[in-house]
Amino acid sequence: MMISTPLDPVVPASIKAPAKAEPGLIFLIEDDFVLRGSLATVLHLEGYTVESAANALEALARLERPPKPSLILLDIMLPYMDGLEFRTLQRSLPAISDIPVIVITAVGVRPDVAAELDLRQAFFKPLERPLLLDAIRRHCPPTPT
């Protein structure tokens, strides 16, 4: 008998087909409402389009449909599924496995785990905005105006 929990992600077929990333589109996965809103505002002012999710399950549901983000900003401590579990699952899905990920965290990430999950960079909270924006620009230039 197979036991399933409500936290087991169900990955739809639509997320399996590769697609081209939308230039300048950042997907922010952060459960802190205030940080999510303020970071989205800063990124908009820098010329980015930002979509967000409050947890990894919402993120997976959003990634089922186009457009494909050019970059994911990922918190580690999330409800239902943590950021490292999300990244592991994301890397197993061909349609979204190539989206680069920058981690924003209060707890840190061991270097061996960061390398194994191909995390582009990790930033500790409170975030140093200029350093974070420089890293974002390296992996995802803003949308031309």
Taking only the tens place, the pLDDT of each residue in 91-111 is 999 999 999 999 999 988 889
In a domain, 122, yes or no: yes
Over the Cα atoms of the chain, what is R_g? 15
pTM (predicted TM-score): 0.85
Residue 11: pLDDT band (50, 70, 90) is low
Q: What is the pLDDT of residues 25-49, one digit of tens each?
A: 999 999 999 999 999 999 999 999 9
Strand-pairing partners, residue 51, are 27
Could you list the residue range(s) of the whole structural domain that residue 49 is in? 21-139
Q: What is the pLDDT of residue 6?
A: 44
Task: Count the domains in the chain.
Answer: 1
Q: What is the pLDDT of residue 134?
A: 97
**How many Cβ atoms sit within 10 Å of the Cβ of residue 81?**
18
Distance separating alpha carbons of residues 68 and 96, to the nearest angstrom: 8
In a domain, 104, yes or no: yes
End-to-end CA distance of the chain: 56
In a domain, 26, yes or no: yes
Can you give the CATH number for the domain in which 52 is found?
A: 3.40.50.2300
Least confident of 7-11, 68-72, 138-142: 7-11
In a domain, 14, yes or no: no
In a domain, 9, yes or no: no
In a domain, 3, yes or no: no
In a domain, 123, yes or no: yes
In a domain, 5, yes or no: no
Q: Is the pLDDT of residue 18 over 80?
A: no
Tokens at 30, concatenated: 């952060």
